[in-house]
């Protein structure tokens, strides 16, 4: 149990049957009236952000999120298969549980599977991936004042905006959180 007076950034708590991560908190002691804690909470499962206030004495249950490293094996229609490399246990997740998480992930790469009380709610890809450009138009020098970009398709099928000098067959580094091109490899 954690009281609202002990809130810190990053703590996960269960409030009204939902799991929230504390993004921001502020202890407020007005000149008149009782103190309170103003918070900004992110719903871990749906991703929505809510602002709520609590009395400092209110208590909430700690929510322990399990993050397990698993290897992405393959997809079979709308099911995606993952394997725990330590125990060789395999799980299958559907498209709703995965979302866009595997947009930049190739088969046999490691990802983190996040679950709460055995229920998987998200897949976290590695922060940076190196992928080969499979299709892009040639870049032409021209009237560009600053860094011009062009669309390029990578080997997973995702489209990324890359600088004009990137050609088909180049390996590039991508930030999976934003989907942005970082550098050539």
- For residue range 85-106, what is the model confidence (pLDDT) as tens digits? 888 888 888 887 787 888 888 8
Report d(CA 167, CA 10) in Å as an integer.
41
Q: What is the CATH number of the domain that holds 28?
A: 2.30.30.30
Beta bridge partners of residue 24, listed in sequence order: 40
Burial 78-87 (b: 16+ CB within 10 A, else e): eebbbeeeee
Q: Do 116 and 134 belong to one domain?
A: no
Other C-beta atoms closer than 10 Å to the C-beta of 60 total 19
Please give the structure tokens belonging to residue 66: 């399990």
| C-beta atoms surrounding 175 within 10 Å | 14
Q: Number of helices (H) and strands (E), helices first, in the chain?
A: 1, 16
Residues 44, 91, single domain; the answer is no
Answer whether 0.75 is exceeded by the pTM. no
Same domain? For 108 and 149 the reply is no
Sign of CA dihedral 130, 179, 94, 44: positive
CATH classification at residue 180: 2.40.50.140
Closest CA to 136 of 121, 154, 114: 154
Q: How many domains does the chain have?
A: 3
Query: Which two structure tokens, joined as six digits, stand for 101?
Result: 């998480």
Least confident window among 26-35, 67-76, 141-150:
141-150
> Which residues, other chains included, contact 137 with Cβ-Cβ below 8 Å and sequence gap of 6+?
150
* Nearest of 61, 25, 58 to residue 42 by alpha carbon: 25
pLDDT in tens, 102-134: 888 888 889 998 888 888 888 888 889 888 988
Q: How far apart are the first and last CA of the chain?
A: 47
Question: In which domain, by residue range, is 158 found?
Answer: 128-184
Same domain, yes or no: 6 and 57: yes
């Amino acid at each position: 149990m954690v009281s609202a007076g002990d809130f810190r950034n990053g703590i996960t708590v269960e409030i009204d049957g939902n799991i929230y991560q504390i993004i921001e908190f502020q202890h407020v002691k007005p000149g008149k009236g009782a103190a309170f804690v103003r918070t900004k909470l992110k719903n871990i499962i749906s991703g929505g952000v809510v602002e709520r206030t609590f009395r400092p004495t209110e208590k909430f249950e700690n929510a322990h999120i399990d993050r397990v490293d698993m290897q992405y094996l393959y997809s079979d229609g709308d099911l995606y298969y993952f394997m725990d490399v330590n125990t060789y246990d395999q799980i299958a997740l559907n498209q709703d549980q995965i979302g866009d998480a595997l947009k930049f992930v190739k088969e046999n790469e490691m990802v983190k599977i996040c679950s709460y009380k055995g229920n998987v709610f998200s897949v976290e890809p590695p922060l940076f991936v190196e992928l080969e450009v499979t299709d892009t138009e040639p870049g032409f020098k021209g009237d560009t004042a600053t860094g011009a970009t062009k669309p390029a398709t990578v080997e997973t099928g995702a489209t990324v905006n890359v600088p004009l000098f990137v050609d088909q067959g180049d390996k590039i580094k991508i930030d999976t959180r934003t989907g942005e091109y970082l550098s050539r490899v």
